[in-house]
Structure 1
Amino acid sequence: MWSLRSPWSRRSLAGQFLAFQLVVVAVVLVAVAAVSVNQSTKEFRDVRGQRMIAVAENLASTPIVRERFADPFAAQILAPDVDRAVALSGAGVADLADPSGLVRVSSDPSRIGQILDLKDSGAKEGRAWFGDLDVDGVHSLAGQVPINDVNGVVLAIVSVSERYPSVWQLLSGAGERLLLYLGLGAALGMLASWLLSRRIKRQTRGLEIAEIASLADHREALLHSIREGVVAVNNDGVITVLNDSAQALLDVTPTAVGRRVAEVGLDPAVTEFLLSGEDGRAAQSDVVIVTGTRVLALNRRSATSQGQRIGSVTTMRDSTELASMQGQLSSHKSVTDTLRAQTHEFANQLHTISGLVQLGEFDSVHDFVGALTRRRAEISDAVTQHISDPAVAALLIAKTTLAAESGVALTIAPDSRLSALDPALATDVITLLGNLIDNAVDVSEGSREAHVTIHLDDLAGMTISVTDSGPGVPEHLREAIFARGVTSKPEVPGGRGIGLALVRLVSAQLGGMVDVADAPSGGACFRVTLPPTRLVDHA
């Protein structure tokens, strides 16, 4: 098939660059030559112009010229003197004209009777002058001097002219060195252009412009079509790549590309993670970071080119739904653990009742069952007299039994109060309360006088406080325990990983917030505050 591309477009990238560089070298050489010609022309005009005036003055001061210029036979009488002036000066033409410009004597007999161009000359006013004239159609440099009488009246005009040299003559007159320098410049320019074109060919791995453009288009299409977010950061902390998914996950615009990570307005935990690769830290996988509205799982790898580190590439995926499912799974697991604990407890109680029956101690059986009934009623009453929502109350009753199995006393603050909730809100409250209680029981287990205290209040919005008897949370980790975790491990330093992260996410989705402080009696106090607009009282 015939190619419709031009011969220029069919050239290789290196060939096009070489041709372009050669054109640049040629333009530079022409510019240098033009400057040299201009300077030589100016020098010729200044030097030779004064020379033409000197020759004209010398001819005008010759006695025989002054005496016989008006003679009818002046052309024959003065010809030797005029020719001698031309021969000695190297001028082209010497003319002797009357004040009107009529040539009376000339070194070129064909010019006799012609009119000398005096329109720009100062000689007709009695002054010496040199400038450009067209002599017989030839661009020439002329010097003109008047012949004056004793009163200063112009009697005749002597004009001596020389044609301007050609461009080649001007370049030659500039000296052999200039030609040598121009030749060396051209040779070095062509050699440098050839070497540079070879280097470009190596750097582009032999790819042509169309192939490079195609690769760039494919790269952009792939980056912006994949579902995972991709963020590339160079060694200076500047974002170089940000695909569509990353823009949506981080809630930023495409204008973030080319700006520093710290200037884009990202969540502080995300900013810290993206910049943590600047110091060459090892790659990190499946790091969970919770922003105000999302749970993100991030992976970071260093990016290298030809053995040199050029930055880092971070991929991220939205794990919000997964975190919610994990929270629900944790709730189900908590219920399962509670049922298992209750099953174990009921089995022990049934064994005890069975033994008493076999011994015939029926009164003891009656007393034992009564004690169990009262104990269950006390636990239920302790919860239901403060908590009117059945789902939340059931959770607290189950958690009380489960905490007791771990040796931790779980109590509800006497001034707690919670009305019936909208089912959707109750589900969120159960997620918040369940994760906070699990965290508190875990850190309190094995401590002295292990206990967990819960306080609920819905008088102005909703406040959920969970206080434990654990070691507390160091101040420098109080933000990190809510923001970061590792999906492949159940715990991270300073927290329970996704559990506390889920607490922050749900709180933010409900328009509230969560924080942690030191408890008055030691340990930590986690506090969730929700706005009143989220509450629906069915009591």
Structure 2
Amino acid sequence: MIGRRLRIFGTRRTLSSQLLALQLLIIVAVLVVISGLSLAQASATFQREQGLRVQSAAENLAASPTVRQLLASAQPRIRTALQGAVESVRAVSGLDYAQLTDPDGIIVVATDPSRVGQESAAEGAGARTGRSWTGLAETSTNTAVSPDASVQSQVPVLDADGRIVGVAIVGREYPSVWERLAQSTPDLVIYLAVASVLGAVGSILLARRVKRQTMGMEAGEIVDLVRQRQAMLEGLKEAVVALDPSGRVVLLSRSAHDMLGLDEDGVGRRVEELGLDDRVLDVLRHPSDDGDQLVLTGDRILVFNTVPIEASGRKVATVTTFRDRTELSEVQSKLDISRTSSTALREHIHEFDNQLHTISGLVQLGEYDEVERYVDGITEHRERLTSTVTDRIDDLGVAALLIAKIGAAAARSVTVALDDASHLPRLDDDASRDLCTVVGNLVDNAVDAVLEQNAADAVVRVRIVADADGIEVEVADNGPGIGTEDTDRVFEQGWSTKGTSLDGHGFGLALVRVVCRRRGGEVGVSDRVEDGRRWTVFRAVTGSGGRTR
């Protein structure tokens, strides 16, 4: 059953769990990206906001009258009123540090005493020449080991005469990555929780929808089903072709590919693009209520059965199965020949019974001389009939067939005559069987044709000639003939003047064409006038495949 859970490859995760795991992976990936973007955005925002604060504080410090008056004479590590001015600015602004440097950039006053005597950040060196600067600066004493960054502003300090007497520096320490991440953690946790819930609910709903569409099967079960279907298609001797409503091939088994003689895989292509015969296309596209349909394509006779597949009241596909009936048709033809031979033998047995009764009566009457003449006459007639065939036809199978056909036709008041120009050497077994198929079907078709008009002089002429190129078979009859409009159709499978393919008619001449084409030859029909009578002539050539041994 389709819904049955398969466990060929062990326990598998359900579709919902797989979708949930995939959703969680996507969520984690998205959160990582969002975290990175959040950190970058937070850094930009921090630099912009804190840059304005440190610049304002540095300008206030540089404009302080105390700083402008005392900075020029300030000495490192000597406490003056400058220390109070620096501490006041840092406390009012709420920033991390404030510093004052001499014109050479050496820190003389700082809220952090350990920085006194050190050189200020090189990024703001322009302030020493009169240009204010605000930006990100390294403040670590050992930047190679542990660089610390801060948002810093440096503003030149001018005395009463407008000379640069130093630089006012105010900064805010830049938070580390972990600090910024810790600040964002509450929001990220909320995002993760919401996304996880939504992902889980979405995964469950999606899994239910997918399982409804897949008839309750899990992903692994679908894979197993596809593998089993492929194995089944490869193992089927019958060919399978499936088309969607638009005529596009959705399934093509290997045997179908080989039987139709396709050069490449046709799955996904429209059936009209495969280069198939019109008859094959018609059968594939249009299901028939008549059951099996026989189609001749190339040198094969194929039996097609096409059925529509419907779901929810609408047509969703057309599935066609077909098999090769070429060998079966040839066997059936050989059986027909055997049946004809058996009928002829029964007729001969009946005739022999009558002859034996005649001989018995003559013996009882004591007419022994008459018995001798009667037996000699019978023997001469049989030898003449047999020698007419065997003197020209050396192949035993074909000769036996002709003798049987001649006798069977004679019983139906039809004369089957072998042309004096006929000559046929001994053939190999395959060639002999194929030639019997050709001759038997052509003679039967001719006999049936002359019987249609109930003529008293119904005649069928047979000529068989073998040469280096192959074997030529010509069968002519003085029947009603074939209409010009039907000349091209006479060799089509299922076409017959005696009935339809459902009645078992219309395959003899089609089979003749299959055999001729397989051996590199062809068969045709034409009209000819001789002795004031119109003859219908079938001419079949088996090609080089009819070589003798």
Q: Given the two structures, how large is their TM-score scaled by the length of structure 2?
A: 0.71
For residues 223 and 86 of structure 2, what CA distance do their matches in structure 1 show? 75
AA aligned opposite 1:96: L
Matches within 5 A, 1:391-470: 391-406=397-412, 408=414, 410-412=416-418, 416-424=421-429, 425-447=431-453, 452-459=460-467, 460-467=469-476, 469=479, 470=481
Deviation at residue 108 of structure 1 after TM alignment: 4.8
Q: 1:334 to 1:119 in 2, by over 3 A?
A: same
Q: Is the partner of 1:228 in helix, strand or coil? A: coil
1:208-264 C-alpha deviation (Å, 9 max, x unpaired): 45544444444444443x352343434143253525x556656779x7374547599
Q: Distance in 1 between matches of 2:380 and 2:162?
A: 147
Deviation, structure 1 residue 436: 2.0
Q: Deviations for 1:80-101, whole angstroms, at most 9, x for unmatched residues? A: 5545655665644332223554
Does residue 276 (structure 1) correspond to residue 287 (structure 2)? The answer is no
Which residue type is aligned with residue 20 of structure 2?
L
Relative distance call for 1:427 and 1:205 in structure 2 (3 A) is closer
Is contact 2:271-2:281 (8 Å) kept?
Answer: no
Deviation at 1:203, TM superposition (A): 4.1
CA distance in 2 between counterparts of 1:48 and 1:430 reads: 107
The aligned runs of 1:277-356 (5 Å cut-off) are 277-279=284-286, 284-285=291-292, 287=294, 289=296, 291-292=298-299, 296-303=302-309, 309-317=315-323, 319-340=325-346
Aligned equivalent of 1:94: 98
Instruction: Show structure 1 runs of 5+ residues with no match.
Output: 1-8, 358-363
Q: Deviations over 1:407-452 (max 9, x none)?
A: 65544556x4323222523333122110122233334531486654
Structure 1 contact 126–153 (Cα < 8 Å) conserved:
no
One-letter code of the match for 1:529?
V
Asked if 1:499 is matched to 2:505, the reply is: no
CA displacement at 1:398 relative to structure 2: 3.3
State the shift of 1:326 in Å. 2.0
Secondary structure at the counterpart of residue 515 of structure 1: strand
**1:519 is paired with a residue of what secondary structure?**
strand
Residue 19 of structure 2, aligned match among 7, 13, 17 = 17
Offset at 1:329? Answer: 1.0
Q: CA RMSD in A?
A: 5.2
1: distance between equivalents of 2:117 and 2:290? Answer: 99
TM-score relative to the length of structure 1:
0.72
Q: Which residue of 2 aligns with 1:193?
A: 203
Q: Equivalent residues in 2 for 1:156-167 (5 A)?
A: 156-164=166-174, 166-167=180-181
Q: How does 1:497-536 map to 2 (within 5 A)?
A: 497-509=506-518, 511-520=519-528, 525-532=537-544, 534-536=546-548
Give the match's secondary structure for 2:425.
Answer: coil
The number of equivalent residue pairs is 509
Question: Structure 1's 291 and 413: CA in aligned 2 closer, same or farther, altered over 3 A?
Answer: same
- The residue that corresponds to 1:105 in the other structure is 109
* Distance in 1, Cα, partners of 2:48 & 2:282: 69
Residues 389 and 187 (structure 1), Cα distance of their counterparts in 2 relative to 1, 3 Å cut: closer
Q: Summarize the Cα distance change of 1:92–1:478 in structure 2 as closer, same or farther, 3 Å threshold.
A: farther
Q: Alpha-carbon deviation of 1:334?
A: 1.5
Q: What displacement does 1:297 show?
A: 4.3
Match of 1:474 in 2: 486
SS of alignment partner, residue 512 of structure 1: coil
- Indicate the residue corresponding to 2:237 in structure 1: 228
- The counterpart of 1:238, out of the listed 249, 255, 259, is 249
Q: 1:518 to 1:180 in 2, by over 3 A?
A: farther
Please state whether the residue corresponding to 1:70 is helix, strand or coil: helix
> CA 1:229–1:133 in 2, change beyond 3 Å: closer, same or farther?
farther
Give how far 1:195 is off: 0.9
Q: Does 1:256 align with 2:256?
A: no
Pair 191,122 (structure 1): closer, same or farther in 2 beyond 3 Å: farther
Gaps of 5+ in 2: 1-10, 141-146, 364-369
Q: Which segment is superposed worse, 143-152 or 64-73?
A: 143-152
**1:259 and 1:51, CA in 2 relative to 1: closer, same or farther beyond 3 A?**
same
Instruction: Please say if residues 69 and 159 of structure 2, whose CA atoms lie closer than 8 Å, have aligned partners that are also in contact.
Output: no
Distance, in Å, in 2 between the alignment partners of 1:441 and 1:151 is 139
Task: Return the letter of the residue paired with 2:33.
Answer: A
Q: Structure 1 residue 117 and structure 2 residue 126: aligned? A: no
- Other-structure match for 1:5: none
| Contact 2:307 2:318 (8 Å CA) reproduced | yes
- Matches of 2:536 and 2:60, distance apart in 1: 115
Percent of matched pairs sharing the same residue: 33
Distance 1:49-1:444 versus aligned 2 partners, 3 A rule: farther
Q: Does the CA-based 8 Å contact 1:283-1:301 persist in structure 2? A: no
Supply the AA of the counterpart residue of 1:34. Answer: G
